[in-house]
DNA sequence: TTATTAAATTAACAATGTTTAGTTATGGGA
DNA sequence: TCCCATAACTAAACATTGTTAATTTAATAA
């Protein structure tokens, strides 16, 4: 059945093309500012064709969101090869933020955009998203068993840390960190993470101050 | 000139009515799901009338956003009557989060929504928003002079703290904290703030653990 | 070749933000 | 009181959106 196979791969290739094109456009102008006709024009098909591959515009979003969660999970796993749990946590946070900043439209779809009203359960957020959350939780647990963290409720601490990196990422994505010049965003992220972990848990503020390779002069 | 005055107040009352109605509708269904016709119908005027009071739909949003920044500023000022800078910081954070959760649609307009693409400078974000930011910065500075914080760059620490509360608020607003049952959201917020400040800077983890009046059992 | 099925398009629909041209009401001056 | 200028409002239209139904075109099987 060679033909049937070919048709199937063609179908999924077309789906992929639509998704890729849509994502590119969303990245540029945002989900709400891109029309089905825009996408259709870009891939040189009629608007109606898109509806042969996706039920509606929202389904494109949901699919991309799912892809995003997969990507994020992979991205975060790079932090696992670090042994020290505190350093691993730092790496984890950096990975999370760098994912957000290098894939802002994905991140937007996943965590910032007011989704088309639908119960979240039916999206695959819970399935894959929770895997990432478990990664974080395990890390937090280990920090606690090693006495690096207070023995608080694990979920609270995990949620705290998540909030922290999400806050940083989303403020920057929405240009609320605009008070800082572009080229110092990286320093600020590093500084923020240090503030949370290194500084608070090492408590060697003086040596820390000296070891900081540079203290950016910020002009508000 | 009594008539002219009356006309003016009528005009501003109408503006107020439109804003109030729009906000109520946005709160329920979100900015993007409310139409000018919806607003017009609610106030029993024709859609075109709204354009006599606002240039377009976006201007309604901008106006509400400005109102939001004013409100937030007032809300935050309640923290100022606390003397201890660390406690004041905690209060400040609590105020910020409670504003966000009790005025989620305002908060959304102000910090989460991808604004209709426009340079931020022309909105009054910078003017009033910066006042709030200064409040925070001064507080941070005082913490530093009292040796409660490491002497890092003030902007970095301020941005960090802001990120933190923004992360908490926005995750909850977008129901990403949905893994936690509704009635424990408050405990989680309190716990998160404690994790950031009290725990890290008091460093009395054991006594802290005991002093926690309850340890919520969370079911993920 | 012809019949059947899949793929794509055309043309329309209702709903949106917005504008234009026109209508109604209000207030002041004769 | 009557007329008119201005303000307040509306009806009707416009272009653009997501989406669908009817139709055409292409690909496959008989």
Query: Within a domain: residue A68?
Result: yes
Pair B192, A187: CB distance under 8 Å: no
Pair A170, B112: CB distance under 8 Å: yes
Query: Within a domain: residue B208?
Result: no
Give mean pLDDT, residues B96-122: 80
Do A115 and A97 share a structural domain? yes
Q: Do B174 and A30 touch (CB under 8 A)?
A: no
Distances (CA, A) of B72 to B48, B62, B128: 32, 15, 10
Do A88 and A4 share a structural domain? no
Do B124 and B37 share a structural domain? no
Do A31 and A113 share a structural domain? no
Per-residue pLDDT at B106 exceeds 70: yes
For strand D, is any atom closer than 7 Å to the CB of B10? yes
Q: Which nucleotide is nearest to B43 (CA to C1')?
A: D9
Query: Predicted confidence band at A147 (pLDDT cuts at 50, 70, 90)?
Result: confident
Query: Within a domain: residue B213?
Result: no
Please give, rounded to a whole number of angstroms, the shortest distance from the CA of A13 to a CA of chain B. Answer: 31
Query: Within a domain: residue B165?
Result: yes
Q: Which of B156, B179, B188 sits opposite A191 (nearest CB)?
A: B156
Q: Which of A113, A166, A201 sits opposite B167 (nearest CB)?
A: A166
A29 in contact with chain B, both atoms CB, cutoff 8 A: yes
User: How do residues A26-39 score in pLDDT, each as one tens digit?
Assistant: 988 889 899 999 99
Query: Predicted confidence band at A195 (pLDDT cuts at 50, 70, 90)?
Result: confident
Residue A199 CA to residue A62 CA, distance in Å, equals 39
Query: Predicted confidence band at A2 (pLDDT cuts at 50, 70, 90)?
Result: low
Query: Within a domain: residue B217?
Result: no
- Residue B180 or residue A129, greater confidence: A129
For strand D, is any atom closer than 7 Å to the CB of A60? no
Neighbours of A98 (CB within 10 A): 15
Query: Within a domain: residue B102?
Result: yes
Q: What burial class does residue B190 get, using C-beta atoms within 10 Å of its C-beta: 0-12 exposed, 13-18 middle, 19+ buried?
A: middle
A171 in contact with chain B, both atoms CB, cutoff 8 A: yes
Q: How many CB pairs under 8 A join A and B?
A: 160
Pair B31, B68: CB distance under 8 Å: no
Residues in A touching B29 (Cβ below 8 Å): 117
Query: Within a domain: residue A215?
Result: no
Residue B135 CA to residue B128 CA, distance in Å, equals 11
Do B68 and B44 share a structural domain? no
Split into its structural domains, chain A has a count of 2
User: How do residues B186-202 score in pLDDT, each as one tens digit?
Assistant: 888 988 888 886 545 54
Give mean pLDDT, residues A125-153: 86
For strand D, is any atom closer than 7 Å to the CB of B43? no
Do A179 and A72 share a structural domain? yes
CA atoms in the 13 A half-sphere facing the CB of A209: 9
**Residue A216: partners with Cβ closer than 8 Å, 6 or more residues away:** A184, A187, A188, B153
Please give, rounded to a whole number of angstroms, the shortest distance from the CA of A124 to a CA of chain B. Answer: 13
The C-alpha R_g of chain B, in whole angstroms, comes to: 21
For strand C, is any atom closer than 7 Å to the CB of B29? no
**Residue B28: partners with Cβ closer than 8 Å, 6 or more residues away:** none
Do A28 and A115 share a structural domain? no
3-state secondary structure of A151: coil
Alpha helices in chain A (DSSP H): 2-29, 36-43, 47-53, 57-77, 85-102, 104-107, 130-145, 154-173, 185-194, 200-202, 205-211
Do A73 and A48 share a structural domain? no
Query: Within a domain: residue B79?
Result: yes
For strand C, is any atom closer than 7 Å to the CB of B179? no
Looking at A30, A54, A78, the residue that finishes a domain is A54
Do B183 and B122 share a structural domain? yes
CATH of the domain at B24: 1.10.10.60
Do A89 and A71 share a structural domain? yes
CATH of the domain at B194: 1.10.357.10
Q: Do B108 and A114 touch (CB under 8 A)?
A: yes
- Residue B183 or residue A37, greater confidence: A37
Q: Which of B111, B114, B215 sits opposite A108 (nearest CB)?
A: B114
Q: What does the pLDDT read at residue B206?
A: 41
Domain that holds residue A116: 57-203
Per-residue pLDDT at A120 exceeds 90: no
Do A46 and A62 share a structural domain? no
Q: Do B159 and A180 touch (CB under 8 A)?
A: yes
Query: Predicted confidence band at A122 (pLDDT cuts at 50, 70, 90)?
Result: very low
Neighbours of B212 (CB within 10 A): 15
Do A182 and A124 share a structural domain? yes
For strand C, is any atom closer than 7 Å to the CB of A49? yes
């Amino acid at each position: 059945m060679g033909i049937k196979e070919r048709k199937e791969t063609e179908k999924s290739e077309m789906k992929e093309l639509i998704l890729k094109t849509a994502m590119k456009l969303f990245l540029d102008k945002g989900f709400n500012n891109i029309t089905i006709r825009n996408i259709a024009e870009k891939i040189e098909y009629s608007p109606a064709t898109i509806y042969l591959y996706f039920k509606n515009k929202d389904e494109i979003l949901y699919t991309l969101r799912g892809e995003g969660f997969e990507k994020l999970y992979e991205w975060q796993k790079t932090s696992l090869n670090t042994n020290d749990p505190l350093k691993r946590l730092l790496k984890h946070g950096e990975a999370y933020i760098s994912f957000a900043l290098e894939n802002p439209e994905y991140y937007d779809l996943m965590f910032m955009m007011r989704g088309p009203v639908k119960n979240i359960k039916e999206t695959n957020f819970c399935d894959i998203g929770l895997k990432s959350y478990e990664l974080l939780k395990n890390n937090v647990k280990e920090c606690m068993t090693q006495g690096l963290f207070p023995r608080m409720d694990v979920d609270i601490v995990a949620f705290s840390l998540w909030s922290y990196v999400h806050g940083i990422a989303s403020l920057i994505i929405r240009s609320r960190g605009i008070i800082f010049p572009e080229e110092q965003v990286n320093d600020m992220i590093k500084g923020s993470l240090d503030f949370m972990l290194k500084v608070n848990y090492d408590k060697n503020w003086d040596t820390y101050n000296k070891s900081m390779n540079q203290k950016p002069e910020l002009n508000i």
